[in-house]
Amino acid sequence: MKIALVSPYDFAHPGGVTNHISSLDLQLTRMGHDVKVIAPASSVVKDFGDRFIAIGKPFPIPSSDSIIRVSTSLHLAPAIKEVLAREQFDIIHLHEPFMPMLCSAMVRFSNTVTVGTFHAADGKPGYNWGRPISTWMIRQRLHNLHGRIAVSKPAQEYHSKYIPGSYEIIPNGIDLERFSDRVTPMERFQDGKLNILFVGRLEFRKGLNYLLNAFLRVKQEIPESRLIVVGPGTRLRKRYERWIEKTGLEDVVFVGYVSNEDKARYYKTADIFCAPATSRESFGIVLLEAMAAGKPVVATNIPGYASVMTDGEEGILVPPQNYQELAQALLTLLNDEALRKQMAARGKAKSIEYSWELVARRIMDYYLRIIGEVRGKDAADAMTG
């Protein structure tokens, strides 16, 4: 089968959707399918060779306490039409299918079976941009979207308000091999201190400010503890570092952006993984990565996180934006090694359900089902027409 995986986001910049597409591409290619990835790109994307097709130049745009990098060009039609005519895909799989501009235009010009995966839980897809024109455009193009996948129930509930129809819930996947027991921890942090790990972009909605306040209390009760912060971002990092200096808080280490291989090593280094996001997380991929690495989790009780872990089972869920309860949950686990091991074991077992191999098979089954439905409808229309 010839498959197009289409991202609205800059494929040269790391992010949840681009990582999802890269992993799905790998699995579909292993199955023997001919896959092309189509996306805007701010620089050369080397990993895919001629299987990557760049359309559009991305620009950073503030959105929902974050930054999205999408193409805003109104002149993508010629490039899209040329690619579709040349490649003759059997199916086009769009991620955030109504995100301006590439995916939205691809829905319009698609000449084959088209499905969309809806990732966000709130705020990002741009349904409110340019209203009422954007609402009219979605209505005009909906008939070209034959299938709808949501990565979680919260994602389905959010998108169905704007994009009606039937949704198949297929979660994000994780590469279990990347987080296997063969991964070695970072030696520099193997000094007897208890390590709390944060992984994520340094944006307000990721909630690192609440974790820093919680760690201030943790450090008072458990001096031999450390907070390791993994993830890109410079503006807020400088702000956080000034706060740390002002308060005199010690043992907070910012390591910045790391490769996927090193990220797995940081998970292995941690005693506890903490995800203090305030909102707008449709799924808990970082939680699952930590669970696959065999680590207990402390996370905020927001719908996307609660959809992949159960409070008291794989870790502890706390109210968002509440650093006191966040600190208490961390202290509970830091002071109880047996509980940490118990929750870690449960999390590792649960993570197997989200193996990319299993998720990709579910997506392929969905492709085949939708292709069958579209062809059946076309045949019925031909007979009645």
When mean pLDDT is compared across 56-65, 67-76, 100-109, 331-340, the lowest value belongs to 56-65
Q: Do residues 206 and 175 touch, judged by C-beta distance below 8 A?
A: no
Beta strands in 120-251 (DSSP E): 147-150, 168-169, 194-199, 225-230
pLDDT tier, 233 (very low <50, low <70, confident <90, very high otherwise): confident
Q: What is the CATH topology of the domain spanning 2-173+355-384?
A: Rossmann fold (3.40.50)
CB 299 within 8 A of CB 315: yes
Can you count the helices (H) and strands (E) in the chain? Answer: 13, 15
Is the CB of residue 304 less than 8 Å from the CB of residue 330?
no
Percent of the chain exceeding pLDDT 90 equals 81
Element (H or E) spanning 261, and its range? Answer: helix 260-269
| Residue 162 main-chain phi, psi, to 5 deg | -110, -30
Written as one string, the DSSP assignment of 1-34 is: -EEEEE-SB-TTS--HHHHHHHHHHHHHHHTT-E
Tell me, which fold does domain 176-353 have in CATH? Answer: Rossmann fold (3.40.50)
The domain ranges of the chain are: 2-173+355-384, 176-353
Mean pLDDT of 206-212: 97
Mean pLDDT over the full length of the chain = 93
Q: Looking at this protein, which amino acid is placed at residue 295?
A: K
Q: How confident is the model over 237-243, as a mean pLDDT?
A: 96
Parallel, antiparallel, or unpaired for β 66-71 and 91-95? unpaired
Distances (CA, A) of 101 to 1, 6, 80, 105, 126: 26, 12, 11, 6, 10
Q: Per residue in 65-75, pLDDT tens?
A: 677 899 989 99
pLDDT, mean of residues 330-347: 98
Whether residue 134 has pLDDT greater than 60: no
Residue 252 pLDDT more than 50? yes
Contact 15, 44 (CB under 8 A): no
